[in-house]
Amino acid sequence: MATILRDWSYRYPWLYGGISQVAALTVGGEPRFRRLLLQDLPLTGARVLDLCCGGGDVTRYLVAAQPQTLVGVDASPKAIARLARNVPTAEGVCAFAEDLPFAAATFDVVVCSTALHEMTASQRQEILTEVQRVLVPGGWFALADFHKPRQPWFWPPLALFLALFETETAWELLAVDLPAVLEPIGFQNIHQRLYAGGSLQVVRAQKA
Ligand SMILES: C[S@@+](CC[C@H](N)C(=O)[O-])C[C@H]1O[C@@H](n2cnc3c(N)ncnc32)[C@H](O)[C@@H]1O
């Protein structure tokens, strides 16, 4: 599904930015939205990976936490070029999240903001397995993404957004229990928090 608006939102960063800002109003504005998945993570002095970083909308907030190293990975060369402009202190790596070009146990923290909804179930499994591999034991993973709303009045705006901008994989994610997916991959201390009437989830988990 999806519409031409999806292509435009990828082609024109200002359009993607505008949409993100409107969507973020449901959680109190864009800065709060971008920081939600960073709450309580041990970022200072850590080796941090922003997975599927896009143009760095979350990466820029990671800089403020003064990590030891900060790497952004994205499959799109254009996204990596935008990251270089927007967050010059981060190292940009163009790669697929399913096949990360890093040794095991390279990172203390991995974050992934609003990207898993673009993946098929098998891609998602591969990516989460890669996240587990590149984390040190005890390292933290945090993700933010769509979730099936708990309050009925959040369904119409979410359904409109998904119909205009997303594909089937976003609808499929609504039926997935991400904490239950993470556990068999090798994560523990899994914690899910819901926002915006349940339509947004932030999940934090620690590598066992
Ligand atoms: C919706 S954007 C989110 C970008 C950013 N994390 C944010 O919060 O604004 C999803 C990003 O995932 C990237 N992406 C999609 N599939 C990917 C894959 N298999 N491996 C790496 N990056 C991927 C896209 O290029 C895009 O930049």
Gap between the Cα atoms of 154 and 78, Å rounded: 33
Give me the mean pLDDT over the 76-86 stretch.
97
Q: Which atom of ligand 1 is nearest to the CA of 115?
A: 10
Q: Are 54 and 74 in contact (CB under 8 A)?
A: yes
Tokens at 184, concatenated? 């068999």
CA of residue 162 to ligand 1 center, whole Å: 16
| Residue ID of nearest Cα to ligand 1 atom 12 | 52
Q: Which atom of ligand 1 is nearest to the CA of 50?
A: 6
Q: For residue range 47-70, what is the model confidence (pLDDT) as tens digits?
A: 999 999 999 999 999 999 999 999
Percent of the chain with pLDDT over 90: 77
CB-defined site of ligand 1, < 6 Å: 52-54, 57-58, 74-76, 79, 96-98, 113-115, 118
Q: Which atom of ligand 1 is nearest to the CA of 20?
A: 9
CA of residue 12 to ligand 1 center, whole Å: 15
The pLDDT score that the predictor gives to residue 12 is 67
Q: Which atom of ligand 1 is nearest to the CA of 74?
A: 22
CA of residue 44 to ligand 1 center, whole Å: 24
* Helix H or strand E segment including 59: helix 59-63
Q: Are 200 and 193 in contact (CB under 8 A)?
A: no
Tokens at 163, concatenated? 């119909």
Any idea which residue has 């820029």 for tokens?
Answer: 60
Gap between the Cα atoms of 104 and 130, Å rounded: 9
Tokens at 58, concatenated? 């979350």
Among 5-9, 38-42, 46-50, 190-194, name the one with the lowest average pLDDT: 5-9
- C-alpha gyration radius of the chain: 16
Given its phi and psi angles, is residue 14 left (phi above 0), alpha (psi -120 to 50 degrees) or beta? alpha
| 9-13, 14-18, 177-181: range with highest mean pLDDT | 177-181
Gap between the Cα atoms of 202 and 113, Å rounded: 9
Helix (H, G, I), strand (E, B) or coil at 75: coil
Gap between the Cα atoms of 64 and 41, Å rounded: 13
* Mean of the per-residue pLDDT values of the chain: 92
CA of residue 6 to ligand 1 center, whole Å: 13
Among 27-36, 55-64, 86-95, name the one with the lowest average pLDDT: 27-36
| Residue ID of nearest Cα to ligand 1 atom 10 | 115
Gap between the Cα atoms of 132 and 125, Å rounded: 11
CATH number of 4-207: 3.40.50.150
The pLDDT score that the predictor gives to residue 123 is 98
Residue 160's pLDDT band, with cuts at 50, 70 and 90, is: confident
Among 1-15, 53-67, 109-123, name the one with the lowest average pLDDT: 1-15
